[in-house]
Amino acid sequence: MQKISTMSRSGNRILKKCQLTIGLDLGDRFSSYCVLDDDGEIILEQRGATTPEAVKQIFGRMAPCCIAMETGTHSPWVSRLLTALGHEVIVAHAQKVRLIVKSRRKDDRIDARTLARLARIDPELLSPVQHRSAQAQLHLTEIRARAGLVSARTALVNAARGLVKSSGERLRKCGTQQVRRESTSTLSAGLQEALEPLLREVESLNERIQEYDRRIARMAKETYPETALLKQVKGVGDLIATAYVLTIEDPHRFRKSRDAGCFVGLQPGRRNSGESEPQMHISKEGDEYLRTLLVQGAHYILGPFGEDSDLRRWGQQLAARGGKNAKKRAVVAVARKLAVLLHRLWVSGEVYEPLRNSQKELRAVA
């Protein structure tokens, strides 16, 4: 690796103002980086392996500096490692750096150079994000692994139903978790034999998913007791509560609870120009899996088993307005309100009152 005479170590002291600015474009196997001096001149452009050992070797010998990178598969562990080495790390939102996303010249070296220049001018241009801690990342991996098994189970069950239909028969209606080898009892002997290995695999996936459910319940109880505050809301169980806590991690990152709905991408987009203010779809930014879980919770709240609450009544009023997508809009709106409500319960530690607003209105009328 090429040495630079201007990069002299100044002990473990972290400089208040970074003397060097580095743009790091992370790749799966190799990463490119560009080093700028105080005047914005390029003093080094190199590439190295995307491994902990290589990162330590390259950046461990540098004086503390400002390093910008984009979000990606490797950005969590790389950002934590660079921070431990004493550098100031800026993790840019990959979809919001238009100079890179919309660029017609896609090149790792050019992307690294662009990141370095933007970080030097104004870090806010990178729409910086905050990665979760290593422990939260590890625990969230269990939840994501469960989601992978659920997705595989759904694909196998759908395959079984499609194969049966092509023979003029049908599997009985039930949830994917209820599909077993016994479900083929009404089918012909030939189909039962053909589907037996597939449904045996579905049963195995059911067992593994139940194992993850037990682990997540134990994790919520022992490691994240604050999830009990969130589970006061009917429709929010261990899975949703734990995923919510792990994804947000620090509830005080938001100035107000309403920002939680924006964080998971459930707020409508805005495009105001003059007198034009069109109604737009939700932004779908933030964590996609958490957004999916919140929508599932909203379906339960508005469904036949949801308890009577202000949130349910409000959602039903939206759905009753009619229109082509009234029910879908109501579900998304309730999911956004649910994200806000969970954050409020988490921060305040209050006891959840499902009909709090309705009771206030009754008392006001009386």
Inter-residue contact 354 to 308 (CB < 8 Å): yes
CA distance 52 to 14: 21
Inter-residue contact 223 to 238 (CB < 8 Å): no
CA distance 285 to 265: 4
Inter-residue contact 303 to 327 (CB < 8 Å): no
Burial class, 8, CB count within 10 angstroms (exposed 0-12 / middle 13-18 / buried 19+):
exposed
The distance of Cα 148 from the centroid of its chain, to the nearest Å, equals: 14
CA distance 354 to 312: 9
For CA atoms 301, 316, 339, 178, give the dihedral sign.
Answer: positive
Q: What is the edge-to-edge ordering of all strands in the sheet holding 21-25?
A: 42-49, 30-36, 21-25, 66-70, 88-92, 128-129
CA distance 93 to 247: 16
CA neighbours closer than 13 Å in the CB half-sphere of residue 326 = 11
- Helices 288-302 and 310-319 cross at an angle (nearest 10°) of 90
Each residue's pLDDT expressed in tens, for the chain with a length of 366 residues: 333 333 333 333 333 344 799 999 999 999 999 999 988 999 999 999 999 999 999 999 899 999 999 999 999 999 999 999 999 999 999 888 888 877 777 789 999 999 999 999 999 999 998 888 999 999 999 999 999 999 999 999 999 999 999 989 999 888 888 888 888 888 999 999 999 999 999 999 999 999 999 999 999 999 999 999 999 999 999 999 999 999 999 999 999 999 999 889 888 766 555 555 555 677 777 889 999 999 999 999 999 999 999 999 999 999 998 777 889 999 999 999 999 999 999 999 999 999 988 888 777 776
